[in-house]
Chain A
Amino acid sequence: MDEVPELQRLERGDSAMELTWSDGTENSVDYRTLRYWCPCAKCGPRRGAQDLAELLQAEVAAYPQEMPTVQTVGGYALHFEWSSGCSSGIYRFERLWSIANALDPDDGKPYVHGAW
């Protein structure tokens, strides 16, 4: 992936977070979208099959609305902690950029993405 702008600000709301990037781009990411694109080894493969992906989407939609705690991981990623559902994923900034800009964060390869 091409170099993405640096994430400078993340403001958490009740149901979405507002992101501000170093190139001036601002976007809003709904928590349900964020959670659907979890890069962990359990969630990732489920997006590779349509029936499992739909099931994942339904699960995510059923999660209670909540604001996550956010922690930086090294200087390369963020970790979101939720009180319910999966909190395993480590989201690289490149992945957050893709999610925020409605690109495919898995780049068509949900099984191998997010190997860390």
Chain B
Amino acid sequence: MSDSPISHHDPSKEGSPSSEKSEDIESGESGAPASADQQQQMEQAYSQMKRKMTLQEMGAKIKHKIMVLSGKGGVGKSTVATGLALSLAAQGNQVGLLDIDITGPNIPKMLGLGGHRLHVEEGRIYPATGYSGVKVISMAFLLDDEDTPVVWRGPIKLGAIQQFLGDVEWGELDYLVIDFPPGTSDEPLTVVQSLPDIDGMVIVTTPQDVALLDSRKSIGFATSLKVPVLGVVENMSGYTIRGTAEPNAEMKIDAPDGTMVDVVADADGNWSTTLDIFKAGGGQATAEEMGVPFLGRLPFDPGVVRGGDDGVHRIVADPQGESAQAFAKVVEQLNANIAAAKQSGGLEII
């Protein structure tokens, strides 16, 4: 069975790795014409060899490679990965965003790239370009329509991931942000084993216990593979409500956790308060408990949800807004942690 599922889903098939011919692979070693099976095997071996070489080159061409994981689904991992990519790009960096969520690829929609088709030339896949020049690769680009399910067993998914890594023409990048499906199995393991010099993992969580429990598994996963945890991000952390009242009015707000929060309007009658929709501080507590850095909190912002649906990320729509500023702080801490991780140790291979 071929491990090149992308070529099967590329409507043009033009120049895809599996259709590529080379003089070296037209015949067997004996000089006799190779059978169709032999030729297919040789083509696959040739593609794999090229891919391995490309993966080594990627180590040099892409300065920083960051994996974004979560133990639990629905914590906003793709939104955070997209936000990190856009925030890094807003600082003037060349950024790539790789959506490894094969069965639930959402990032193109979040970036207004739904319906985009990938360009393939001479066996190389060229990424789509989103806001701020962010280069994007996603399984969604290869599906006939967004409702088409991807029904693949593990080995086929792994083949697709290796193609995403080894056959994509990323060019020179400062950062490659890689978004994963939830969990700690095939997808992140394949990337760790295929891509050299990964800077580390960002673990996304929400403050409730169920998400934190799974986050600890993700941290344990990183520890097992000895890949640095660059930090934990607490997403959907606090929802700020605002209103007006009589100047200096004192009010009580019925908070989601059942407590009453005291709020006082200012002299102009404006008031605001931040409520914890789930819980508060769980991400930071987990990071401290597991001995890994905490990157920061991202607010619960309905504008992020609307932006994702409309294809305009909140950072793009409101670059000075609360969410954009929170992402900028997370990125600042992330960069500091990347620098710290790079300084530690290292194996010399001669």
Binding site for B on A (CB under 8 A): 6-12, 70-76, 79, 81, 90, 116
* Inter-subunit contact B196/A10 (CB<8 Å): no
Q: How many residues of B contact A (CB 8 A)?
A: 18
Which residues of chain B are within 8 angstroms of A74 by Cβ–Cβ distance?
192-193, 198, 225-227
Complex Cα distance, B226 from A6, in Å, reads: 12
Which residues of chain A are within 8 angstroms of B348 by Cβ–Cβ distance?
8-10
Which residues of chain B are within 8 angstroms of A12 by Cβ–Cβ distance?
349-350
* Inter-subunit contact B350/A76 (CB<8 Å): no
Given A72-B196, A73-B193, A74-B198, A10:B349 Cβ within 8 A = yes
- Residue in contact with A10 in the complex, picked from B224, B227, B345, B347, CB distance below 8 Å: B347
Which residues of chain B are within 8 angstroms of A75 by Cβ–Cβ distance?
225-228
**21 A-B contacts (beta carbon < 8 Å):** A7-B347, A9-B350, A10-B348, A10-B349, A10-B350, A12-B349, A12-B350, A70-B349, A71-B196, A72-B196, A72-B349, A73-B193, A74-B193, A74-B198, A74-B225, A74-B227, A75-B226, A75-B228, A76-B224, A81-B52, A116-B193
* Inter-subunit contact B225/A71 (CB<8 Å): no
Complex Cα distance, B228 from A6, in Å, reads: 15
Complex Cα distance, B198 from A10, in Å, reads: 20
Complex Cα distance, B189 from A62, in Å, reads: 33
Complex Cα distance, B226 from A95, in Å, reads: 15
* Inter-subunit contact B192/A73 (CB<8 Å): yes
* Inter-subunit contact A71/B56 (CB<8 Å): yes
- Indicate the member of B224, B348, B349, B350 with the most A CB atoms within 10 Å: B349
* Inter-subunit contact A76/B345 (CB<8 Å): no
Which residues of chain A are within 8 angstroms of B227 by Cβ–Cβ distance?
74-76
Given A71-B196, A116-B189, A76:B349 Cβ within 8 A = no
Q: What 1/0 mask marks residues of chain B from 176 to 215 whose CB sits below 8 Å from any chain A CB?
A: 0000000000000100110011100000000000000000
* Inter-subunit contact A6/B345 (CB<8 Å): yes
